[in-house]
Chain A
């Protein structure tokens, strides 16, 4: 299993409590959009961000949050923050 797939699986565990669309969740991939596909509300998106911070021991700012609209963008932001450490 690649690192990327591991990260996607990790993200999948984080979003699980907040999703509304089971089908989109089952088929979660890089292109999955948190709000439009998974139907996560904006308040729970904050919880997703906080859980990501805890898991990777990083701190995300407003700019990062605005970028993290889908799985691919989230992975990019996480990788960038982790490499800054």
Chain B
């Protein structure tokens, strides 16, 4: 499945799509990027006069690239057509190390822990453009087509 096809299957759109580009994908893992548009309205409130990308948004980005995009690829391997995907985030446990500011680009790398009985659990890491670790953790979701 081509990278663009996977992105087209994502059930998100602006202002809640946090995937720009997928870089690599195979049965074991995925990597992709996103650049935070400084115009995102959450920067107006997080924080007052001091815009920093919220941890929940970083987690969401890691989940959209590292679990949902990856899951669409893995589901496509089953040979069944992917028309409508049912997804639910079921757990996330993240540690955060450095802040991400407006207009920064991040790279998410995700490795499969398991994909069984429709549950995909991954170890995810996010890096900034300097290659510094922004956050890492485990994210899991249920996915069905």
Q: Does B14 belong to the interface (CB within 8 Å)?
A: no
Query: From residue 16 to 74 of chain A, which have CB atoms closer than 8 A to chain B?
Result: 41-44, 46, 49-50, 62, 65
Residues A49 and B117 in contact in the complex (CB < 8 Å), given A42-B142, A43-B142: yes
Determine the distance from Cα of A49 to Cα of B119 in the docked complex, in whole angstroms: 12
Q: Mark B114-128, 1 if CB is under 8 A from A, else 0.
A: 101111000000000
Main DSSP-derived SS at the B contact region: strand
Nearest Cβ distance between residue B63 and chain A, in whole angstroms?
A: 14
Which residues does chain A contribute within 8 Å of B142, judged by CB atoms?
A: 42-43
Q: Does B90 belong to the interface (CB within 8 Å)?
A: yes
A61 to chain B: closest residue by CB: B117
Determine the distance from Cα of A42 to Cα of B140 in the docked complex, in whole angstroms: 12
Query: From residue 88 to 141 of chain B, which have CB atoms closer than 8 A to chain A?
Result: 88, 90-91, 114, 116-119, 140-141
State whether B117 touches A65 (Cβ < 8 A): yes
State whether B91 touches A50 (Cβ < 8 A): no
Q: Choose one: A41, A42, A44, A46; the contact of B116 (CB below 8 Å).
A: A46
User: Which residues of A are at the interface with B, using a C-beta cutoff of 8 A?
Assistant: 41-44, 46, 49-50, 62, 65
User: Which residues of B are at the interface with A, using a C-beta cutoff of 8 A?
Assistant: 88, 90-91, 114, 116-119, 140-142
